[in-house]
Structure 1
Amino acid sequence: MSEDPQSSAEDDRRPTQDANAPRYTRDELIARLEIDPKFAEKAWNAFGFARRSTDDKVASENDLAALRMFAASSESMPESTKIAMARAIGQTMSHLADWEADQLRDITADPEFPWTVEQMCAALGQVQQLIWRRHIAIALERHREHAAEEEVDLVVGFADIVGYTSLSRRIDLHDLEELLGSFEDETFGVVVDHGGRVIKTLGDAVMFTFEDAHAAAEAAIRIHELSDGDRLPPLRVGLARGPVLQRFGDVFGEPVNIASRLTSSARPGSTLVDDSIAEQIGADDRFYLKSIPTLRVRGYKYLKARVLEPHKRGPLAE
C-alpha cells in the first residue's frame, strides 16, 4: 500500500517525544528530503562517510527540518559548490571529533571522573554551539563590511618552526605533540590578541590574516618572543599584502604564495615582509626595516623583501 503524501507531510510536522532523537537511517533521510540519490551519495562521501547504506539511525526530526531548509535555500547553488561546502564541513568536523575523542578517552579513563563519555559528548555539543554562534556572528559582520567586494585586501602571514623535520626525528611523539600544541596555542593567542584571524594550522606552520599591516607587524615580532627561553624552537615569519579570495574559511591568491615563499626564505628568528607592507609601516617608529638582496624563489625570480625588526629605540624594544 502506497504512502499518502499528505499523511507523510503531517507525520513530519507532528511533534515527537524527542525531536533530537535519531529516527532516520541515511537512506530514509535521503528519501524524506526528496533529493537526487546520486548527489546524496556524493554529498555523504564529501562529509567524510563511506558510500554505503547503513541501518543505523543517524538523523533526528530536527536534523531533517534543518537539512530541508538548507536544500531548499541552495537550489540555485552549483553542485560543485555544494560538494565543496560539504567537504569543508566534513573535514573540519572530522579533525575536531578525532581530537575530542582522544581527549575524552584520556579524561574518562580516570576512575574518579564523575561523568560518562555520553555526558561529556552532550556538554561538548552545547559548548560547540555556543562557540559557533559567536563565530558565525563575527563572520557575518565581516562579510557585511565587504559585501560589495569580489576581492578583499588583506595581510597574509605564515609562522613556522625552524628545522621541524630534523627536530621531529630527534624527539619522541609525546614531546612532539606537546611542542606542536604549544606552538599552535601560543601563536593563535598572539594573532587573535592583535586583531588577526588564524586561517589554519599546517603541522609545523600557522597561517593567519590581518586587515591592518601595523597590527600584523607587531604580531610577527611578538610571535618571535615565544621562542624566548625553552618554550619553543626558533620561528620564522613571512608577511605579504594584496587582494585575496576568501572561500570556505580559507584564503587564496598571490599574497598567500608570496607569504609562504618569504617564510621559507626567512632566517631563524626573523620576519620577511613584502614591499607593500614595508611601504605601509615604514613611518612607524616601532619598526625597523632592513634591506636584503632580491630573493630568487620558486615562482618568483625577483622577489623584493625587507627584514622586519623592532626599532632599537622604539616602544617595542622596551
Structure 2
Amino acid sequence: MADGEEQLDLTGAVEAVERFLLQEEPRFTRDEVLARSGVDEAVAEELWRWLGFPQADHDAVAFTTLDVESLRQAVELVELGVLTEDRQAALVRTWGRSFARLAEWQTTLLADVALEEGVGDPVARVAELAEEVLPRVEALQSYVWRRHLVSAAGRLLAVESPGSPAAPLAVVFVDIVGYTSRSKSLDEAGLVAWLEGFEAVCTDIAVEHGGRVIKNIGDEVLVVADDPAAAAEIALTMVESGADEDDPFPQVRAGLAHGAVVSRLGDVFGPTVNIAARLTSLARPSTVLVDRGAYEVLSGRVQDDAEEPAEDRSSEDARDEPAEGDDTPYRFRRLRRASVKGYSRLQPWVLRRR
C-alpha cells in the first residue's frame, strides 16, 4: 500500500456477505448449537476441527441455524453407516481442505473485481457481487460435483471388482525442466500466472485424451487414465509441446507407469504411482520414460528378463523397435536398469512415436 493511502474498511461488506451466505445473522453460541442439534460436544468439536473451522468461545454468538442443521445431518450420516469411524476423519478433513482452498480463491477473485478502480463504492460492490455471483457459483459447483459423481460411478462399476481397494490405472507424472531457475526470474504475479498457465494446458491435454488430473504439486502434475494408450498420448503431447520453441508451454519430462493403483478421496497411492514419480526423476528433458507394465501393454510384448540382451545391460543405445508388421504407434528404447529410492533395479524404456 502506498504511503498516505487510506486502508479501506470492509467490515460492512464482510458482515453483508456473512449474512447472505449464512442466511441470517449469527444468533447462537456454541453451547446453544449443541443443545439444539443434540450432538455431543466432543463429536461436534472434532468435526469442526477436521473441517478447519476456527474455534469459537463458549459465549461467542457466532453460529446460525445452518450450523445446527449441519451437525444433525452429520450425525444422520453416521447413523446411516456412511460416515463410519474409520472414514469420518479422512472424509471430513478432505472436505475442509478442498472447500477452504476453493473459498479462498473465490473470495480473492470477488475482492479483486470489487476493488477495481472506477466501479464505485467497493464496500457496496462486495455485497452486491456476493448476491449476484455466489448463487450462480453455488449452482455451478453443485452441477460440477454431480457430473464428477456420474464419472466416478461409471469408473467404479467398470472395474472387475468394484469393492477392491485397487484397480489398474496408467499414472503419468509431468515435471517442468529448469523450474527453479525460471521461477527466480519471475515476480510473484508472474510466477502465479506461469504456473496457472501450465496447469490449464495440462488439464486441457489430459481431458482431451480421456485422462484426469489428480493434483498439481508446484512444478509437477499428476494425471491418471484408465487406458494406457491415452496416458501415453497425454505424456507425449506434453513433452512435444514443451519441445516446440514456438509454444509457450514449458519444457517438461514425464514418467508413465501402469498397474494396480489405490484411489482414495480424490488421490491415488501405491507402487505404480511411486514408480511413475521415480521415472520422471530419471527422464531427460522432453523425454517420456515408461515402466515394464506400460511397456508390455503399449508394445503388446511380455518382457522376459531371461531374454535380456547383453548389450542392453551395458549401453543406453540398445533399441527395441516395433516388429515388422506391428501396428503399435510407438517405438521403445530400453535403458539400463536404474537404482532409485525404493527400487534397486527399476527397468525404464524411452517412449517415442513410431
Give the TM-score taking structure 1 as reference length.
0.84
Q: How far 1:64 moved relative to its partner?
A: 5.6
Of the three residues 30, 46, 61, the one matched with 2:50 is 46
Tell me, what secondary structure is at the counterpart of 2:61?
coil
Query: 136-145 or 252-261: which moved more?
Result: 136-145
* From 260, 264, 267, the counterpart of 1:247: 264
Is the counterpart of residue 134 in structure 1 residue 150 in structure 2?
A: no
**In the alignment, structure 1 residue 36 sits paired with structure 2 residue 40:** yes
Matched, 1:292 2:335: yes
| Percent of matched pairs sharing the same residue | 35
Do the aligned partners of 2:165 and 2:263 also contact (CA within 8 Å) in 1? no
Report whether the alignment pairs 1:56 with 2:62.
Answer: yes
1:101 matches 2:101:
no
- Distance, in Å, in 1 between the alignment partners of 2:341 and 2:212 is 27
* Shift in alpha-carbon separation, 1:29–1:71, aligned structure 2, 3 A: farther
Is 1:276 aligned to residue 293 of structure 2?
Answer: yes
State the one-letter code of the partner of 2:152.
Answer: A
Q: 1:242, 1:171 → 2: CA distance? A: 39
3-state SS, counterpart of residue 290 of structure 2: strand
User: Which amino acid in structure 1 is aligned with residue 74 of structure 2?
Assistant: L
Contact kept? 1:33, 1:68, Cα under 8 Å:
no
Letter in 1 for 2:349: R
> In the TM superposition, what is the alpha-carbon distance from 1:279 to its structure 2 partner?
0.9
* Structure 1 pair 258–37 and aligned structure 2 pair: CA distance change class (3 A): same
Following superposition, the deviation at residue 75 of structure 1 comes to 7.0
Alpha-carbon distance, 1:29 to partner: 3.7
Deviation at 1:153, TM superposition (A): 1.0
Distance 2:90 2:33 in 1: 21
TM-aligned CA deviation for residue 166 of structure 1: 2.4
Question: Aligned partners of 2:49, 2:94: CA distance in 1, in Å?
Answer: 12
For residue 183 of structure 1, the aligned residue among 198, 206, 209 is: 198
Counterpart secondary structure, 1:32:
helix
Counterpart AA for 1:67: A
Do the aligned residues in 2 keep the contact of 1:26 with 1:59 (CA within 8 Å)?
Answer: no
- 1:233 counterpart residue number: 250
What is aligned with 2:279? Answer: 262
What is the rounded CA distance, in whole Å, between the counterparts of 2:329 and 2:194 in structure 1?
30
CA RMSD of aligned residues (A): 2.5
Residues in 2 aligned to 1:140 and 1:29: alpha-carbon distance in whole angstroms? 36
Q: 1:171 aligns to what?
A: 186
* Equivalent position amino acid for 2:76 in 1: M
Residues 177/31 of structure 1: CA separation in 2 closer, same or farther (3 Å cut): same
Q: Larger deviation: 46-55 or 178-187?
A: 46-55
- Partner of 1:158, secondary structure, is strand
CA drift of 1:179 comes to 1.0
Higher CA-based Rg: 2
In terms of mean alpha carbon deviation, does 51-60 or 286-295 score higher? Answer: 51-60
CA shift at 1:107, angstroms?
A: 1.9
Deviation of 1:24 after TM superposition, in Å, equals 5.3
Gaps of 5+ in 1: 1-17, 312-318
Change over 3 Å in CA distance of 1:169–1:248 after alignment to 2 = same
Bigger shift: 68-77 or 280-289?
68-77
Q: Name the SS for the 2:196 alignment partner.
A: helix
Contact between 1:186 and 1:226, CA under 8 Å: does it hold in 2?
no
Deviations along 1:48-90, whole A, 9 cap, x unmatched?
Answer: 1233334223442764664353243247712x42111111111
Contact 1:154 1:209 in 2 (8 A): yes
Change (3 A) 1:122 1:275: same
Q: Please, which runs of 5 or more residues in structure 2 have no aligned partner?
A: 1-19, 301-326
Larger mean CA deviation between 159-168 and 208-217 belongs to: 159-168
What corresponds to 1:6 in structure 2? none
Q: Distance in 2 between matches of 1:279 and 1:247?
A: 27
Shift of 1:180: 0.5
Structure 1 residue 31, shift from structure 2 partner: 3.3
3-state SS of paired residue (1:152): strand
